[in-house]
């Protein structure tokens, strides 16, 4: 392998793939598809659907690999580091089974640069290939488009963070708008919900898309119940939400 494509595929809707991403899929000799465990076959199937739509009559070779379980006994950051190393080894061993594969691709949910570990894992490969990042529609874009809102207020900053940090650190000073990703615990429950509006979405851009918005105090229970039911129905869920404090500028641009 001398070239690795990290191709953003949006939130699972094949239309979120850019023309550049489609060309990279057709150009690849090999595409790696992760298997994420029982009940999550849809994630691999969606990647296969995207490849089939753009690759034509001569699709690249496809190999599947299993994602190891992350362990956090020695702390979150140490657990992530060990996990990334294990995934890099799996990539390397899988690619080595196809000696003729010079151009290898992975299809990445959202954008490879935004709360995704593929770039960090790719940096561990030896020898390190040329890495080409091809952005797709990010979950943030899909969320604001689905709700028909702007991300930021006029002249105001936006913080993009994780549910874990929101739980541990609370609402940061000087920020009226927060986008929260990677939150399996509905961490908005830790806030004073009387002060906040929320725009929540799951399976964005897909047939199963779910949207809830309104004052957090009024809709929090509905989001929690909707999320739990959807995860039970599909075996997996990818969601994101935007929070705005009451009393912000109220003017979006």
How far is residue 61's CA from residue 71's CA, in Å, rounded to a whole number?
A: 32
How far is residue 128's CA from residue 125's CA, in Å, rounded to a whole number?
A: 5
Q: What percent of the chain has pLDDT over 90?
A: 73
**Check whether domain 3-137 has CATH 3.40.140.10, yes or no:** no
Q: What is the pLDDT of residue 249?
A: 43
Q: Could you tell me which of 1, 68, 2, 63 has the C-alpha nearest to residue 32?
A: 63
Q: What is the pLDDT of residue 115?
A: 73
Q: Are 93 and 99 in contact (CB under 8 A)?
A: no
How far is residue 217's CA from residue 11's CA, in Å, rounded to a whole number?
A: 28
Question: DSSP 3-state assignment of 117?
Answer: coil
Q: Are 125 and 4 in contact (CB under 8 A)?
A: yes
Question: DSSP 3-state assignment of 53?
Answer: helix
The reply to whether 140-245 shares the fold of 3-137 is: no
69-124: pLDDT as tens digits: 888 888 888 999 999 999 999 999 999 999 999 999 999 987 778 778 999 999 99
The reply to whether omega before 128 is within 30° of 0 (cis) is no
181-236: pLDDT as tens digits: 989 999 999 999 999 999 999 999 988 999 999 999 999 999 999 999 999 998 88
Helix (H) or strand (E) holding 244: strand 239-245
Tell me the pLDDT band of 38, cut-offs 50, 70 and 90. Answer: low
Question: 250 or 225: which carries more pLDDT confidence?
Answer: 225
Tell me the pLDDT band of 252, cut-offs 50, 70 and 90. Answer: very low
Chain mean pLDDT for the chain: 91
Q: What is the DSSP letter of 235?
A: S
Mean pLDDT, residues 16-35: 94
Query: What are the structural domain ranges in the chain?
Result: 3-137, 140-245
- The string of DSSP codes covering 144-209 is HHHHT--SSBTT--EEEEEHHHHHHH-SPTT-SEEEEES-SS-GGGGS-GGGEEEEEEESTTSTT-
Fold (CATH) for 140-245: 3.30.950
């Amino acid at each position: 392998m001398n070239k690795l494509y990290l191709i953003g595929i949006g939130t699972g809707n094949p239309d979120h793939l850019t023309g550049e991403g489609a060309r990279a899929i057709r150009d690849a000799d090999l595409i790696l598809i992760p298997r994420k465990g029982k009940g999550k076959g849809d994630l691999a199937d969606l990647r296969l659907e995207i490849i089939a739509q753009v690759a034509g009559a001569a699709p690249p070779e496809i190999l599947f690999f299993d994602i190891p379980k992350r362990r956090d006994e020695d702390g979150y950051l140490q657990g992530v580091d060990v996990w990334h190393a294990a995934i890099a080894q799996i990539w390397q061993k899988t690619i080595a089974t196809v000696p003729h594969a010079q151009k290898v691709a992975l299809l990445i949910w959202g954008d490879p640069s935004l709360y995704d570990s593929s770039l960090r894992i790719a940096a561990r490969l030896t020898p390190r290939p040329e890495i080409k990042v091809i952005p797709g529609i990010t979950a943030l874009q899909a969320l604001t488009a689905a709700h028909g809102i702007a991300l930021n207020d006029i002249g105001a900053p936006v913080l993009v963070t994780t549910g874990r940090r929101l739980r541990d650190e609370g609402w940061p000073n000087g920020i009226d708008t927060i986008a929260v990703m990677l939150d399996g615990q509905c961490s908005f429950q830790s806030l004073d919900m009387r002060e906040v509006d929320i725009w929540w979405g799951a399976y964005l851009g897909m047939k199963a898309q779910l949207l809830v918005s309104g004052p957090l105090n009024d809709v929090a229970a509905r989001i929690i119940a909707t999320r739990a039911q959807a995860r039970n129905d599909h075996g997996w869920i990818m969601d994101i939400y935007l929070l705005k404090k009451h009393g912000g500028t109220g003017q979006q641009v």
